[in-house]
Amino acid sequence: MKVIKVILVVGARPNYMKIAPVYFALKSEQNFHPLIVHTGQHYDNNLSEIFFKELGLPEPDTYLGVGSGTHGEQTSRIMIEFEKVLLNEQPYLVMVAGDVNSTIACALDSIKLHIPVAHLEAGLRSYDRRMPEEVNRVLTDSISDILLTPSLDANENLKKEGVSDERIFFVGNAMIDSLRRYEKLAETSNILERLNISPNNYGLITLHRPSNVDNKKNFEKIITAFEEIEKRIPLIFPIHPRSRKQIKQFSLKSRFENMKNLKFIDPVGYLDFLKLEKNAKLVLTDSGGIQEETTVFGAPCITIRENTERPITVKQGTNQLVGNDTQKIIKAVESILGGYCKERTIPKFWDGKTANRVVNVLKNFSKNKT
């Protein structure tokens, strides 16, 4: 029996929840041998190591340890180190996920060595090339052999770009596989007690996009909104290292310290975050994955961005876009506190069974290539 070696690449926090269910599904198959390569793009324990433990993933088979840097520095270091892994392991296929620098770097290495690439979460588009993630996802889709889409609008995006049907496979949202698998376990988290907050009585914030926190004017507009919102409802802010750095650089610490109803906490693990997310009165975010998770939970989501690569969360979910406009953010929060919440339907194949569909695609691909 031929054993098919598949390298699964993880680099940043959202990758772990997407790759974990695929790893377990491949591991249950006799003829697949999955290996995990961690690039080290996210290397902080709270953004990386704790997620491996909570998701039950084994230690990575290879850890590249590339760390932070500019986009060019980070991407190039990943390519240099990952190429060595490919030459040593000689995998049958490489799977990359999402839209981070690790995604495009490892896809480029693989394709240049004639190793097939599967892109998990393909076809998402914000149509904003100012966002580095958009560049990463467009380029990764253009060179990948297997495009595994999370929603039907992603299929349409790819077809508009001239991608043949033979490369597109609608499998659903792998991140929701993890959510469904660990949702009950997350209920055992005592994070609400530790923070002295009660369900449905606080707002949850995540903020890390360069367009929001690296631009002082934009960051200050968002902070001004928070200053008004915290007068109405307690706010919990698990602060990303990037945001913490920019608060210090822009001398904004005193503005946050003056908000007595806003609580900074360190980034939390996956189970704690699911508990916070599910029980929040509202979520203020600029993250992509959180737009999806809140749609499944039915939690009102206010996305602090002008656009989203996940428009299905606006069309079918609880998500609404407000940009970084102070008044739009405040108005959206006031509407939710006044009792308004968008009705939602859960998109097709966001059912916790995406990983099984992915494995079936890989099985058929391997048969057709032999």
Mean pLDDT, 10 residues at a time, over the chain (370 residues)?
A: 92 91 97 96 64 89 89 94 98 97 97 98 96 96 98 98 98 98 97 98 96 96 98 97 94 96 95 98 97 97 97 97 98 96 94 98 86
Same domain, 91 and 195: no
* pLDDT the model gives residue 48: 62
Q: Which pTM does this prediction carry?
A: 0.95
Structural domain of residue 290, as residue ranges? 189-337
Same domain, 15 and 163: yes
- CATH number, domain with residue 274: 3.40.50.2000
Same domain, 142 and 237: no
Q: What's the rounded Cα separation, in Å, for the pair 78 and 101?
A: 8
Residue 32 Rama label (left phi>0; alpha psi -120 to 50; beta): beta
* pLDDT the model gives residue 1: 63
* pLDDT the model gives residue 46: 56
Same domain, 164 and 79: yes
β-pairing verdict for 146-149 and 203-206: unpaired
Per the domain annotation, does 179 fall within a domain?
no
List the 93-97 sheet strands across, edge first.
62-63, 32-38, 4-10, 93-97, 117-120, 146-149, 168-170
Per the domain annotation, does 304 fall within a domain?
yes
List the 301-303 sheet strands across, edge first.
262-265, 235-238, 203-206, 282-285, 301-303, 319-321
- Taking CA atoms, 332 is separated from 112, 215, 268, in Å, by 47, 23, 26
Per the domain annotation, does 182 fall within a domain?
no
Count structural domains, the chain: 2
Per the domain annotation, does 345 fall within a domain?
no
Question: Which positions are catalytic?
Answer: 208
Per the domain annotation, does 180 fall within a domain?
no
* pLDDT the model gives residue 42: 63
Same domain, 228 and 161: no
Contacts of 269 (CB under 8 A, 6+ apart): 46, 50, 51, 53, 54
* pLDDT the model gives residue 47: 55
* pLDDT the model gives residue 67: 82
